[in-house]
């Protein structure tokens, strides 16, 4: 495809034909926004496994406008560009070709597979929520905080009367807000309690990052005022030890006081409640990164894609942006998506890079305030389930390390089946790794970020689809 004449000499120097953006969340949409400003005619494949665009952050957005990037992707399909939307389509494999890539898609509706060929790819596949195991965490009435938020915001369902959000991190606050707002709209009463492992006084540790990101000060104050006005209770320095069930329903939970490294102290308290939501941060989705063999590294305990200053990955023609390069929130994802797309168009982004520095500083600060050290393992009983798909207990995983010599989540999986079930370790792999790290005498697993998460097929695809 020929480049058009343009006032931007760098832009016209780029030769791009066929770009795929995988993930239509904040990072992917921001990248698309930038690509559409190009004076070249671009052929863009927008791919997302969800039916609606917006990713985790804007999934509940009414209509198709995305305020933070001031952009309506559907209306902005400028005539000079050809955008093909592949929604409800999961990328399950990517092949490297001479000068490009073949992306294999499986439609989530029916048994339909297809493929597209492109020269460049921007991967923005985001993250999933992290939950830690405890007694009865697999019982009905225990769910992730994101699922609770989705029920409230998307479906106007409040699944309990006394809701406890347990975990560590700032995500509990928007969830509590969504619950209260939805309940108000529906005219129902709901009690919400946040049970947070860390103390709020630790926020001073991020004061420089707050000063560099003043909008965050207002955002934080807004949440605190909302919680106060709406009666959201907050209990600090406590971790859930188990959920108590009577006559098939949740009646409350046992919590223990913990130190900042999550080491439990003696004794447990009982708190009444009929629904428990968990929120222990997010885990970057390395599925496609591992299929492609992109270089990965550990960052604050997460495995993330290695990128350079322009969001380029270790493979030529592939950029990565958003949560897969490190958990950082939707604003950082937007900035990274824009930098990636601008670099693809051979444009420079000095201001965006400075914004990224500020935003990264803020989110790295948050991980210091809310660390999830592997001392949480001390709260586990041997009978507690860790891998819910294969029903593997904490005791079995510890035994695989003590008796059989398992030294990573991967070897523990081979001995115990933890991570071999339907979710393919997306929920438990990180927890299994931390149990192994914790029980090994040297405190370190032999995990290699470049091997640990490799799955050759990155999504559900039928045999019929595979044979096409």
| Contacting residues toward ligand FAD, per CB under 6 A | 22-28, 47-50, 55-57, 90-91, 124-129, 146, 149, 174, 282, 285, 287-288, 322-323, 329-330, 333, 458-459
Shortest distance, CB of residue 320 to ligand FAD, whole angstroms? 10
Residue 18 or 55: the one with the smaller Cβ distance to ligand FAD is 55
Shortest distance, CB of residue 453 to ligand FAD, whole angstroms? 13
Shortest distance, CB of residue 248 to ligand FAD, whole angstroms? 27
Residue 147 or 414: the one with the smaller Cβ distance to ligand FAD is 147
Shortest distance, CB of residue 405 to ligand FAD, whole angstroms? 34
Residue 57 or 438: the one with the smaller Cβ distance to ligand FAD is 57
Residue 198 or 287: the one with the smaller Cβ distance to ligand FAD is 287
Shortest distance, CB of residue 399 to ligand FAD, whole angstroms? 32
Residue entry with tokens 């294969």 = 390
Residue 48 or 191: the one with the smaller Cβ distance to ligand FAD is 48
Residue 50 or 236: the one with the smaller Cβ distance to ligand FAD is 50
Shortest distance, CB of residue 51 to ligand FAD, whole angstroms? 10
Distance CA 439, CA 11 (A): 54
Residue 323 or 437: the one with the smaller Cβ distance to ligand FAD is 323
Shortest distance, CB of residue 389 to ligand FAD, whole angstroms? 19
Shortest distance, CB of residue 417 to ligand FAD, whole angstroms? 24
Residue 110 or 443: the one with the smaller Cβ distance to ligand FAD is 110
């Amino acid at each position: 495809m020929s480049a058009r004449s343009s006032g931007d000499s760098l832009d016209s120097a780029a030769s791009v034909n066929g770009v795929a953006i995988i993930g239509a969340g904040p990072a992917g949409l921001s990248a698309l926004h930038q690509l559409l400003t190009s004076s070249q005619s671009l052929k863009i494949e927008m791919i997302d496994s969800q039916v609606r665009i917006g990713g985790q952050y804007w999934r509940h957005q009414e209509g198709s406008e995305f305020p933070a990037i001031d952009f309506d992707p559907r209306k902005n399909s400028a005539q000079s560009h050809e955008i093909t939307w592949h929604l409800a389509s999961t990328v399950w494999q990517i092949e490297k070709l001479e000068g490009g890539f073949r992306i294999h898609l499986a439609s989530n509706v029916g048994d339909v597979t297809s493929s597209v060929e492109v020269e460049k790819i921007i991967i923005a596949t985001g993250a999933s929520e992290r939950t830690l195991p405890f007694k009865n965490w697999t019982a009905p009435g225990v769910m992730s905080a994101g699922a609770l938020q989705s029920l409230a915001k998307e479906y106007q369902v409040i699944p309990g009367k006394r809701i406890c959000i347990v975990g560590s991190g700032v995500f509990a606050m928007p969830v509590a807000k969504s619950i209260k707002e939805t309940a108000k709209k529906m005219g129902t009463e709901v009690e919400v309690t946040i049970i947070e492992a860390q103390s709020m006084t630790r926020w001073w540790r991020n004061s420089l990052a707050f000063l560099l990101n003043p909008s965050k000060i207002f955002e934080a104050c807004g949440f605190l005022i909302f919680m106060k006005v709406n009666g959201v209770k907050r209990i600090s320095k406590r971790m859930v030890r188990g959920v108590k069930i009577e006559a098939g329903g949740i009646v409350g939970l046992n919590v223990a006081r913990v130190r900042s490294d999550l080491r439990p102290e003696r004794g447990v308290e009982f708190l009444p409640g009929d629904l428990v939501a968990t929120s222990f941060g997010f885990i970057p989705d390395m599925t496609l990164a591992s299929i492609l063999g992109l270089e990965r590294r550990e960052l604050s305990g997460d495995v993330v894609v290695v990128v350079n200053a322009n969001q380029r990955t270790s493979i030529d023609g592939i950029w990565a942006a958003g949560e897969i390069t490190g958990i950082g929130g939707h604003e950082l994802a937007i900035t990274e998506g824009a930098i990636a797309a601008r670099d693809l168009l051979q444009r420079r982004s000095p201001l965006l890079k400075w914004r990224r520095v500020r935003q990264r500083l803020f989110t790295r600060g948050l991980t210091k305030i809310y660390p999830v050290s592997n001392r949480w393992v001390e709260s586990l009983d041997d009978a507690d389930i860790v891998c819910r798909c294969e029903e593997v207990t904490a005791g079995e995983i510890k035994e695989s390390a003590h008796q059989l010599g398992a030294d990573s989540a991967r070897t523990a999986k081979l001995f115990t089946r933890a991570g071999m079930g339907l979710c393919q370790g997306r929920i438990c792999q990180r927890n299994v790794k931390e149990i192994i790290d914790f029980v090994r005498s040297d405190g370190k697993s032999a995990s290699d970020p470049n091997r640990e998460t490799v799955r050759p097929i990155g999504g559900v695809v039928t045999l019929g689809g595979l044979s096409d």
